[in-house]
Structure 1
Amino acid sequence: MTKTAHIIGAGLSGLSAAVRLANEGYRIHVHEATQNAGGRCRSYFDGATNMVIDNGNHLLLSANIHARLYALSIGSEDKLIGPDRAEFHFADVSTGKKWLLDLGRSRIPFWLFNAKKRVPDTGVLDYVKLMPLAWANNSALVGDTITCEGTLYRRLVQPLLLAALNVDPPKGSAGLAGAIVRETLLAGGKACRPLIAREGLSAVLVDPALEFLKGKGANIQFAHELRQIDTRNGNVAVLDFGDDTIALGAEDVVVLAVPARPASNIVLGLKAPTKFRAIVNAHFRYDPPEGLPALTGVVGGLIEWLFAFPNRLSITISDADRLINTPREELARDIWRDIAKVAGLGEAVAEGPLPPWQIVRERRATFEATPEQDALRPGAKTEFRNLFLAGDWTDTGLPSTIEGSVRSGHLAADLILTR
């Protein structure tokens, strides 16, 4: 008898769970509240720039095993593009200084012992002082675990942890920061090779999954929002979508892969994060100058990461609540000035007419990665035997990242397969 899985939410958490269960013979029904799949990781045509852009700029690393396995399972891993070694370009817009962090290819961080490969003006001891993060517990603050000042902090640790935690690093969870350090810097260059979906997030991580699921006979419904669940004898018995309901069979399972707030409205009494932080992404239709790296970390300015795509320059700013109400034109100009400095475009371009642009402000992009909010993250199991949770806000051991999102979907699917 074919088993049935209802996947609530077509973001990466839901899609990764659906793909894994479909591969194990489950009949899949995906129910997505909006008109689009992908959640925060999707692409769309933008009229202001007259091009397809991503909702947000996202970077994967070669250590992101779950995300890479997911891409492999849907046939798109070859579209995650990156260098053959872990190299990261950085620029300081306040001083004009640029450098290359070269982590190499090894599983062992030999790069630490080569001054030409480290962050300039840092020594081995500076990196050793980061070790307390590796075994910090989730109730500790980053600021109480390591010294949040100095050259290494400003040029590497702060931008790395800010991007991962989406909070000012000293206020973030040392346990979550430690997970990032263990899986990246301490794992050597082999784990840190940057990978970018240069054809767009949807083309690489979303559309292939939908095609894969359709090929497995899955039913995918958009504009189909789950409103509430009816339970009976420790199981979810009915899914209520407002205009229609679905009665579940004895062996049917449900993966609830929606953001924390709607999940809490559906599963009453669910423990979940209550505080969130914004991320700002901006896209400019402009041909990158020759020699500009595909990815540049930026310190000393407003922007934090610059992505160079064909015909487009895009940036990311984390912990961006302070920018939510900034006038769009003012923000676009300030961002463009930083881009011009990093890309060497010159003052005339920086202060001249702006190229076609778009700013995407995600007000509730990630949960606030503090010890307080991390303690509110639920596991994949619920009080109901046939209901499982997925999402980067659940307890994955990582902050809100693509890897955490996919990992949560895989965890939910694995619990279903072994129950």
Structure 2
Amino acid sequence: MPHCIIAGGGLAGMAAAAALGEAGFQVELFEARPFLGGRAASYGYPTAGGVETIDNCQHILLRCCVNLLDFYRRLGVANRIRFYREFHFLEPGGRRSRLAPGVLPPPAHFAGSFFRLKFLSWSDKMAVARGLRAILQGSASPELDSLTMAQWLASQGQPRRAVDRFWRPILLSAVNEELDRMAAAHGFQVFRLGFLGGPESSEMGVPEVGLSQLYAAGQWQRFPNVRIRTGEKIERFRFAGNRAAAVVAKGAEHEADYFICAVPHHHLPAVAPEIPLDLTPFQHSPITGIHLWFDRPVTDLPHAALLDRTIQWFFNKREGRYLQLVVSASRSLTELPRAEVIGLALRELREFLPGAREAKLEKAHVVKEMRATFSAVPGLASARPGPRTRFPNFFLAGDWTATGWPATMEGAVRSGYLAAEAVSEAAGRAAKFLIPGVT
């Protein structure tokens, strides 16, 4: 049985482990932290009533994330994801709008609810419709990676209100980057795949359990040949001649036939300096998660996008009393003290939710993920490596590699599957794990 060691227990490493485990490989997955999940994880937060498990930040998916859903199926947790067909938008003052697929066939299935949106004027809606038609009719050309989404929208004559209230809320949350930094290729991808595809492709999935519960030890019992080694940090890879020979963890060497390095790109030079990649084009984009607990329900909505303010989304985690707020590309908040972030969030939330104005805030918690994702800037595609390296038994995985996607959970799983395919081919046991999709 061929033996593969994987460094990194995020989604990329876990996806590779699950795929290779099913394919009959002996797999050892090393993760430095005491739990799996990487940046998509949960942890214990101490409260007066004990320790409560919370996610570092709300992570969502769309049903078009077919490889992520396939990974959940492999772990037996696909039923832990709840899907919503409707997207809710709130304006300051509390006025609601709803975007949901209707009876028309794709790509016009959102037309009915779109033209009923209250927060856009008729001229704004017509401009957006022209922009969506241009995306649908346009080609996925390399030129889209050389300009920003803001530049493309300007070239299409999109009004400021349409940009601020339609394009930005959707794309900022999907790509974790501002429109003036985001490669237009990723903006095209979000709309083509999620909103202009099939009527179910845009359904939003929200885990019903803590993120780390999705990857708990019990889920891995279905892979008897996969060993999960949490709390064991790989210090470096050792190479001999033209091959990877071993990893060093806790001072001990562990040998294998094949190796996958699924660590964040900024950790690669420390563990494998023999891999000569130019990582200077990679920048980071932060995400801030704000957890608020109230003494009473403050909303009946499961989630909503918040327009015209710093806070971009809220997710109703427990009967309207516990909300998770999300700010993507949150550079404006990274230097603020947490108390100020909480105060800003509470003030803004009360503009949208009348119920929050009288409710008492019982506790609050702020999570700043400074390196949440790589920044999906124009020109980055050429710097993202594939899974293969100059060493025939050493492979790369991670959402930062060449997946065709921005830094998303789907992109991470795609990279893990691609690395697993490369390992299988190198072992003379070629297999396909990646489910093709729109890229």
Shorter-chain TM-score above 0.5: yes
Closer, same or farther in 2 for the Cα pair 1:385/1:119, shift >3 Å? Answer: farther
Kept after mapping to 2: 8 A contact 1:130/1:146 = no
**1:392 maps onto 2:399 in alignment:** yes
1:362 maps to: 369
* Unmatched tracts of structure 1, length 5 or more: none
Q: CA deviation at 1:21?
A: 0.5
Aligned pair 1:127/2:137, yes or no?
A: no
Please, what TM-score do these two structures have when normalized by structure 2? 0.86
Gaps of 5+ in 2: 427-439
Give the percent of matched residue pairs that are identical in Structure 1 and Structure 2: 26
Partner residue in 2 for 1:265: 270
**Corresponding residue for 2:32?**
33
Aligned-partner residue type, residue 108 of structure 2: F
Deviation string, structure 1 residues 229-283 (Cα, Å, up to 9, x no partner): 22234321122235111233xxx11111111111132232223353101110011
Shift of the alpha carbon at 1:195? 0.7
Give the alignment of 1:154-169 within 5 angstroms.
154-169=164-179
Match of 1:191 among 201, 217, 223: 201
Change (3 A) 1:101 1:385: same
Counterpart residue type for residue 320 of structure 1: S
Note if contact 1:115-1:123 (Cα within 8 Å) is conserved in structure 2. Answer: no
1:138/1:371 contact within 8 Å kept:
yes
Distance in 2 (alpha carbons) for counterparts of 1:369 and 1:98:
31
Rounded Cα–Cα distance in structure 1 between residues aligned with 2:26 and 2:103: 41
The Cα shift of 1:108 comes to 0.8
RMSD, matched Cα: 2.3
Judged with a 3 Å threshold, the aligned counterparts in structure 2 of structure 1 residues 312 and 385 are, in CA distance, closer, same or farther, namely same
Q: How does 1:329-348 map to 2 (within 5 A)?
A: 329-348=339-358
Q: 2:408 aligns with which of 384, 401, 407?
A: 401
Q: Does 1:302 align with 2:310?
A: yes
- Deviation by residue 1:373-395 (Cα, 9 ceiling, x = unmatched): 44422211111111111111111
Deviations, residues 163-187 of structure 1 (Å, cap 9, x unaligned):
1222211221111222212211111
Alpha-carbon distance, 1:213 to partner: 5.0
Q: 2:284 aligns with which of 265, 276, 291?
A: 276
CA distance in structure 2 between the aligned counterparts of 1:144 and 1:190, rounded to whole angstroms? 30
The residue correspondences of 1:113-262 to structure 2 (distance < 5 A) are 113-114=111-112, 119-120=117-118, 121=121, 122-133=124-135, 135-136=140-141, 137-147=144-154, 149-204=159-214, 206-207=215-216, 211-213=219-221, 215-241=223-249, 243-248=251-256, 252-262=257-267
Which residue number in structure 1 is paired with residue 435 of structure 2? Answer: none
- Quote the Cα distance in structure 2 between the aligned partners of 1:379 and 1:392: 11
2:18–2:223 Cα contact (<8 Å) kept: no
Q: Which residue type is aligned with residue 82 of structure 1? A: F
Deviation at 1:78, TM superposition (A): 0.8
Q: Residue in 2 aligned with 1:80?
A: 81
Are the equivalent residues in 1 in contact too, given 2:19–2:417 (CA < 8 A)? yes
Alpha-carbon distance change, 396 to 150 in structure 1, aligned in 2, over 3 angstroms: same
Relative distance call for 1:105 and 1:267 in structure 2 (3 A) is farther
- Mean Cα displacement is larger for which, 186-195 or 266-275? 266-275
Distance across 1 between alignment mates of 2:348 and 2:404: 34
